[in-house]
Amino acid sequence: MSRLGFAGVSLVCGVLAAGPYLLVLTGSTGSMILVYLAQLPLFAAGLWLGTGASASAGFVAALILASAGSLPAVGLFAALNVVPVALLVRQSLLARTGPGNAVEWYPPGLMAAWLTGLGLVAAAVTLVFFDGPQGMQATLREALAPALDRHLGEITPELDESLSIIAFILPGIVATSWMVMTATNGSLAQGLLARFGASWRPSPDLAALGLPMWIPVLLAVAAGATLLGGTVRFIGVNVLIVLAVPFCLAGLAVLHTVARRFPRPAVTLVTFYLLAGLLGWPLLLIALLGLLDSPLGLRRRFA
């Protein structure tokens, strides 16, 4: 593609990425759902034209938000979207020449590992930003105070205990939500580009996803930390929540392997994803499946 075309794609994708944030800044609460898709054009630019296009689109979006006079929004947008998307795009486009001059693309398991690492960073940043569970609980009380005063008049002991539980797992929940958002947008962008024959690389085979050893090791360490008290237990619980995402991806790899044994694999997978989207709890079973995959060799049994 020519430089003019590259610049045009970066401009359009940057505008599309900044749009949801601009709508939120104008007070449009209904546009919050669109913020979830802000990464999609950044992924699309990168997986189509390379890492430079993703970074350029992110730069355009940041300039648009800066021109709106919201520097905090620029920082938030860059931290949540531009930097991690550019990094993940760069890794996904890595390739090497294998035996027989075959091109070997960056494996999906290592992509999941990078996503997990970024999620752990997000959880750590949330922990530092809110100054631990006590600070998170105080922030939740302050944010909910107007509604509580209207309906309850005061914070009951039961409600205070609920806020304490939410604050205790908040870093993991925030990180997990971001990881799911990022994986969803990256998959959507790759799927759309592959559909039109415009993707830089072939779509990864999810059934071939294998997690690196450090993830189950970290899981064991985090599980052990939950048996202790204080800050160590707090960190262990939130690390376990973050690690649910890579093990869910490993479970989906098992599911994709099993689906290939059916006459119409696509129907089986679409049915599951619809049920998971509506109910949510099937993903917990899938995460358990991913946890058992490596020690029991589930994919080898179903292949």
Written in H, E and C, the secondary structure of the chain is CCHHHHHHHHHHHHHHHHHHHHHHHCCCHHHHHHHCCCHHHHHHHHHHHCHHHHHHHHHHHHHHHHHCCCHHHHHHHHHHHHHHHHHHHHHHCCEEECHHHCEEECCHHHHHHHHHHHHHHHHHHHHHHHCHHHHHHHHHHHHHHHHHHHHCCCCCHHHHHHHHHHHHHHHHHHHHHHHHHHHHHHHHHHHHHHHCCCCCCCCCCHHHCCCCCHHHHHHHHHHHHCCCCHHHHHHHHHHHHHHHHHHHHHHHHHHHHHHCCCCCHHHHHHHHHHHHHHHCCHHHHHHHHHHHHHHHCHHHHHC
pLDDT category of residue 99 using cuts at 50, 70 and 90 = confident
Residues 137 and 54 in one domain: no
Cβ–Cβ < 8 Å for 250, 211:
yes
51 domain-assigned = yes
Higher-pLDDT residue of 140 and 63 is 63
Q: What is the pLDDT of residue 183?
A: 95
Residues 148 and 291 in one domain: yes
Domain with 66, as residue range(s), is: 1-93
88 domain-assigned = yes
pLDDT tens readout for residues 178-231: 999 999 999 999 999 999 999 999 999 888 898 999 999 999 999 999 998 788
Residues 3 and 52 in one domain: yes
Q: Which of 47, 72, 93 is the last residue of a domain?
A: 93
| Number of domains forming the structure of the chain | 2
Higher-pLDDT residue of 133 and 54 is 54
Calculate the average pLDDT of the chain.
87
210 domain-assigned = yes
pLDDT tens readout for residues 144-170: 666 655 555 566 677 767 777 888 888
226 domain-assigned = yes
pLDDT category of residue 39 using cuts at 50, 70 and 90 = very high
Q: Is the pLDDT of residue 97 over 80?
A: yes
Q: What is the pLDDT of residue 180?
A: 94
Higher-pLDDT residue of 134 and 283 is 283
